[in-house]
Structure 1
Amino acid sequence: MSIATLPAPPYYVVCFSSQRTEIEDGYGDVGAAMVELAQQQPGFLGFESARRADGFGIINSYWRDEESIRAWKAVVDHVEAQRRGRADWYRRYEIRVARVERAYGFEAQHVEPG
């Protein structure tokens, strides 16, 4: 996964912090399908994900507005993935929604020695 390329703020971020169970049972396939489905939704801007070996992970999805986030939460396949997550894949999770007002970054420029 790489750092998402996003437009200038303002936009919204949905931060999904989770602790996995040991149950795999389709987790990877459903996760990949949810990323593809999210990318097709109006207002979707980008996605970033990281997971440690102990099962703790954070997924950030970026959206144009709150209406887009509400619409994504209600997509039928996403609702089913949420149900499976609560039943099988997650011990705990927290979702935080925030408006991004400022964003900035850094990228090193590669310089050849010489």
Structure 2
Amino acid sequence: MTLLCPLTQPPCYAVIFASLQGDDLAGYDAMAERMATLAAQQPGYLGVDSARTTDGPGITVSYWADEAALLAWKTVAQHALAQKLGKERWYSHYTLRVAKVERQYEGPEGR
């Protein structure tokens, strides 16, 4: 689990990927590790927050400097392969949302 990603000041973009794992997870952990490494090498990548329960539900939020950076990540060939395998094998369901982060607060004291 990775939480509390240090971000630069907003605005930035967040790609929110919520998923339920399927039954065939062969190769999943290795691919997830590879995608984390590869994403971190992309121009405009700011970081990631990720959590998964032991019974499968998970959420990963990646942060990007601008929309062009996240669209470029979508076209990386190895990422496209991971998406294909996810759809075919690893996820029984997923939801992906893209949001623009306008503000950020940290705490516990907050704003």
Does the alignment pair 1:63 with 2:78? no
Q: How far is the alpha carbon of 1:26 from its aligned partner?
A: 0.5
Alpha-carbon distance in structure 2 between the residues aligned to 1:102 and 1:2 = 18
Deviates further, 81-90 or 1-10: 1-10
Contact 2:19–2:95 at 8 Å: present in 1 too? yes
Number of aligned positions between the proteins? 108
Question: Once superposed, what is the RMSD of the aligned Cα atoms?
Answer: 1.1
Segments ≥4 residues shifted beyond 2 Å = none
Q: How far is the alpha carbon of 1:99 from its aligned partner?
A: 0.5
State the match for 1:111 in structure 2. Answer: none
Q: How far is the alpha carbon of 1:97 from its aligned partner?
A: 0.3
Percent identical residues? 44
TM-score calculated relative to the size of structure 1: 0.91
Q: How far is the alpha carbon of 1:107 from its aligned partner?
A: 4.7
Q: How far is the alpha carbon of 1:54 from its aligned partner?
A: 2.1
State the match for 1:98 in structure 2. Answer: 99
State the match for 1:30 in structure 2. Answer: 31
Q: How far is the alpha carbon of 1:53 from its aligned partner?
A: 1.9
Q: How far is the alpha carbon of 1:82 from its aligned partner?
A: 0.3
Contact 2:3–2:51 at 8 Å: present in 1 too? no
Matched AA of 1:28: D
Alpha-carbon distance in structure 2 between the residues aligned to 1:22 and 1:3 = 29
| Structure 2: gaps (5+ residues) | none
Which whole-Å deviations, capped at 9, do the CAs of 1:23-76 have from their partners, x for residues lacking one?
A: 121100000000000000000000111011221100000000010011000000
TM-score calculated relative to the size of structure 2: 0.93
State the structure with more CA Rg: 1
Alpha-carbon distance in structure 2 between the residues aligned to 1:89 and 1:3 = 26
